[in-house]
Structure 1
Amino acid sequence: MSHSIDDSQPIFQQIARRIADDIIDGTTKEGEQVPSTNQFAKHYQINPATAAKGINLLVEQEILFKKRGVGMFVAEGAKEILLKERKVEFYERYIVPLLQEAEYLQLSKNQIKQLIDEGGK
């Protein structure tokens, strides 16, 4: 938990994103326990309910599951689910605007590929 909280989005979403990032990059593996709401609250100096809200987002997505009396753990298949979601997010956030701008500039898909391959030269 080395990240810091910022004002770019709600804190609970940042908590969920940080856990998801750790799963995607392999820092936290499937079957491993994630920090508790109290650990997040203490580390980031936030209300435990805020941390719980972020964790519960991932529970709802079946990324995390609860072992009663033990804590929260990464579900099997969580990384694949997250990668699939992030690819959709990437497409919508970056590719769609790129294609819209390319159409405006009358660039073909081959020209876009060439620009990517050449690094914009």
Structure 2
Amino acid sequence: MQFEFNSAEPIYRQVAEQIEDAIASGGFEEGQQIPSTTEVSKEFHINPATVLKGMNIAVSKQLIEKRRGLGMFVTSGAQGRILAAKRDSFYEEFVVNLVKEARNLNISEDDLLALVKRGYDQ
């Protein structure tokens, strides 16, 4: 985990994003215990309440679950849910705009697909 303490983005959101990214990349596997609030707060010198707030975001997204007396664990299906959400976001943020711009430039669907394939081939 790495945090940008001078960033405009709050630390608790960075905690939530770091957990989400670690699950998406397989750094934290489904069923695996993640570091405790205390461990993260001590290692990175962050207030435990701030870390807990970030972890609670991940809990609310059903990415991790609290097991009383044991800690926090990655939920079943968490990686798939994250990747599906990222794909949806990718479509909304990039593909929609790409197609719109292609239409503005009179690029046909076939030509656009050829350009995308060329990008993959490079």
**Which TM class, normalised by the smaller chain length?**
0.7 to 0.9
Q: What percentage of aligned pairs have identical amino acids? A: 38
Question: What does residue 26 of structure 1 align with?
Answer: 26
Q: What does 1:32-51 correspond to in 2, within 5 Å?
A: 32-51=32-51
Map Cα deviations across residues 13-45 of structure 1 (whole Å, 9 max, x no partner): 221111111111111111111111222222332
| Alpha-carbon distance between aligned partners in 1 of 2:24 and 2:104, rounded to the nearest angstrom | 35
The Cα RMSD (Å) is 1.9
Q: Can you give the 5+ residue segments of structure 2 that lack an aligned partner in the other structure?
A: none
Counting matched residue pairs gives 120
Give the secondary-structure state (helix, strand or coil) at the position aligned to 2:73. strand
Q: Are 1:4 and 2:3 counterparts?
A: yes
Judged with a 3 Å threshold, the aligned counterparts in structure 2 of structure 1 residues 8 and 102 are, in CA distance, closer, same or farther, namely farther
- Structure-1 residue corresponding to 2:86: 86
TM-score norm. by structure 2 comes to 0.86
Cα drift, residue 8 of structure 1: 5.3
Q: Report if aligned partners of 2:37, 2:52 keep a CA contact under 8 Å in 1.
A: yes
Q: TM-score, normalised by structure 1?
A: 0.87
